[in-house]
Structure 1
Amino acid sequence: MTQTKNAVVTGGASGMGLEMARCIIERGGRVLIADMDDKALAKAAKDLGDSAVTQKADVSKPGDIETLAEKAFDELVHVDLVFANAGLQFDAPVIEATPEEFDLQYGTNVKGSWMTARAFARRWIDRSEEGRICFTGSEHSLGFQHDGAALYTGTKHAILGLADVMRREMPENVGVSVFCPGLVNTGFYASREKAGLDEDDEALKDGEKLMSMGMPAAKAARAAVEGALMGEWLIMTHAVAREGAEARWEEIDDAFRRQAPPGSDDSNYKVQELKKQISAGG
């Protein structure tokens, strides 16, 4: 795969998505950016110039995703990279979150990312073309980072699990990456407002203040693009996120050592091997 790539970026009209698009264009590629925000799309198109094509899309809707994929191959001809980046975050303690917040976050972050990946992977396979999906996960994919984000953390754990299985199921021409950034300076805390939900003004101000302390969006986006181009499976940006990942592994390791230490019958229950035996008629 050459370094001049065409890409699709969902959630591409602002924040990291916009910077991902800019990064691709700077490398000589063309980009189709998808977003729900008409005004932001128009502004992004003007900002990025003729190398960008826009499409309004709600990634939680199957029809929007299929339309997006068809337009991408029509407009760009070759689609090399797809950044499944659209996402929402509503912070609340787990017992105070609402079913509406659950549905919106899982519908966009998980279902939307899955449908995006599925639509483009199918087309790459049908066309025998190379391509790579880069899911936007999070430091929250790796382990506990902070309280108040249970639903969001659940969606990002789901992304990592989904992508891990997908990369093993895909043929060699379809690659999979997961981008796991920490705190980045974007307008992400405006998620509630964009979704039409009420938001406490003070809470929104606090969230925006927190985001302003994050890594510049352009720096994080550059890491995502460069990692995807290099074929990285996991793409990291914030060393501090390692603490959550290591703490998670230490708990897992301790539980295995105490409760299920290695034994002679381990292979008897390895599902992947049992499936092979069944397929072979054993």
Structure 2
Amino acid sequence: MKSLEGKIAVVTGGSSGIGLATAKRIVDEGAHVVITGRRENELKEAAAVIGKNVTTVVGDVSRLDDLDRLYAVVKEKHGHVDVLFANAGAGTIAPLAAATEAHFDQTFDVNVKGMFFTVQKALPLFKDGGSIILTSSVSNVKGLPGFTVYAASKAAVRNFARGWALELKDRKIRVNCLSPGAIDTPALATTTGLTPEQAEQAAAQFTSQIPMGRRGMPEEIAAAVVFLASDESSYITGIDLPVDGGWAQG
């Protein structure tokens, strides 16, 4: 029997990278998945890659109306949620001396406010005994110059998992945090504000600091998410699981 047979899962930030790889793996494990992202064309392409048992909803997690629309679709189509992978996130480089209010607000609106209300608004649909997985980052414990606002937002996510694991224990809903390290996705070149050359240099620098000597693949994050989503992790809640090739231990 597949580990998520018959489950209903929601994946935010599901149109590319870690979110897409995880949504595909969740379906491979027997679940139906609802994915959301900001760009309709990318979502359609992601659904084609996943191939079956997938519903797409265009939306921005920092907009509460969009979250309401997401869960209205989930309720209408499936009636409940068993697994939530709250994965949508954003991060651009800005040194302390140069960071703007807009940079700060955008980062926290998506990574903290968006995360908070993604989970809050899912609760009425959540089945007791379900699993919530939050995407944090190795940066929640590492000092990364230029990424301090992003790192602070991801440290907030890590603490959400601690508190929510206690708040939701009576419903037997487990809440865990997953912290990827440097993962080989397009995001480094497309969303951080780096030029292609700078992104390549950053990837090389990250790799030199990783004990395993390479960046991770989105499928390796997906495998960890499925573990935390399934009954294989039935005695695990409130943790931060680094999937980072040992980077956080250096």
Bucket of the pairwise TM-score, normalised by the shorter protein: 0.7 to 0.9
Determine whether 1:226 maps to 2:227. Answer: yes
In structure 1, the partner of 2:178 is 179
Residue 131 of structure 2 corresponds to which residue in structure 1? 132
Give 1:92 shift: 2.4
- 1:22-171 equivalences under 5 Å are 22-124=24-126, 129-141=128-140, 143-170=141-168, 171=170
Of 10-19 and 93-102, deviating more is 93-102
User: Which residue type is aligned with residue 237 of structure 1?
Assistant: V
**Does the residue aligned with 2:34 lie in a helix, a strand or coil?**
strand
* SS in structure 2 of the partner of residue 58 of structure 1: coil
The answer to whether the Cα contact below 8 Å between 1:32 and 1:53 also exists between their aligned partners in 2 is yes
Is there any run of 5+ residues in structure 1 with no aligned partner, and where? 193-197, 245-282
Whole-Å Cα distance in 2 between the matches of residues 147 and 136 of structure 1? 21
TM-score w.r.t. length of structure 1: 0.76
Identify the residue that residue 236 of structure 1 maps to in structure 2.
Answer: 242
**3-state DSSP class of the match of 2:62?**
coil
Kindly state the Cα deviation for residue 227 of structure 1 after the two structures are TM-superposed: 2.2
Give, in whole Å, the separation in 1 of the partners of 2:68 and 2:89: 18
Structure-2 separation of matches of 1:133 and 1:146: 27
Cα displacement (A) at 1:207: 4.8
Partner of 1:260: none
Query: What amino acid sits opposite 2:184 in the alignment?
Result: N
Tell me how far 1:144 sits from its aligned partner.
1.8
| C-alpha contact 2:144 2:151 (8 A) present in aligned 1 | no
CA drift of 1:95 comes to: 1.8
- Relative to structure 1, the CA distance from residue 182 to residue 204 in structure 2 (aligned partners, 3 Å threshold; closer, same or farther) is closer
Answer yes or no: is the 8 Å Cα contact 2:131–2:228 preserved in 1: no
1:136 alignment partner AA = T
Structure 2 CA distance for partners of 1:219 and 1:40, relative to 1, 3 Å: same
In the TM superposition, residue 33 of structure 1 has moved relative to its aligned partner by 0.4
Aligned-residue sequence identity (percent) comes to 28
Higher relative contact order (CA 8 A, sep 6+): 2
Q: Which residue of 1 aligns with 2:198?
A: 203
Q: Give unmatched runs, 5+ long, in structure 2.
A: 208-213
Name the structure 1 match of 2:12: 10
| CA 1:205–1:239: 2 relative to 1, 3 Å | closer
RMSD after superposition: 2.2
Q: Distance in 2 between matches of 1:239 and 1:216?
A: 11
Q: Distance in 2 between matches of 1:99 and 1:239?
A: 34
> Equivalent residue of 2:35, what SS?
strand
Q: CA deviation at 1:148?
A: 2.1
Give 1:137 shift: 0.7
Q: Deviations over 1:110-152 (max 9, x none)?
A: 111100010112333xxx64322111011122x1243221011
Give SS of 2:52's match.
helix
Partner Cα separation in structure 2 for residue 206 and residue 112 of structure 1: 30
Who is 2:211 aligned against? none
Cα offset, 1:40, TM superposition: 0.8
CA distance in 2, matches of 1:34, 1:209: 31
Distance 1:44 1:243, change over 3 A: same
Which structure would you say has the larger Rg?
1
2:135–2:177 contact (8 Å) kept in structure 1: yes
Give distance in 1, aligned partners of 2:84 and 2:66. 15
